[in-house]
Amino acid sequence: MQAIAEACASTAVVLASSNLTSKILGDHASRDQKDRWLRPYAEGKLGPASFASQ
């Protein structure tokens, strides 16, 4: 991650937020949520991921 950040900080931020999203889903999502979101993400079918609240 540090090497990526040295080359491009914004890319590192996108990667870090996507990794955090994947970790949270992996640890806490139901099987249905994992199948809906985590599997396609891991297969490269979804773009970068993040959580946001209003």
What is the pLDDT, as a whole number, of residue 17?
A: 83
* More confident position, 40 or 47: 40
Of 12, 11, 24, 10, which Cα lies nearest the Cα of 52?
24
Does 51 score more than 80 pLDDT?
Answer: no
- For 36, the enclosing helix (H) or strand (E) is none
Contacts of 38 (CB under 8 A, 6+ apart): 22, 25, 26, 29
Mean pLDDT in residue range 25-47 = 90
Does 28 score more than 80 pLDDT?
Answer: yes
**Which tokens sit at 21?**
């999203």
Task: Supply the pTM of this predicted model.
Answer: 0.68
pLDDT > 90 fraction of the chain, expressed in percent and rounded: 31
- For 13, the enclosing helix (H) or strand (E) is helix 9-28
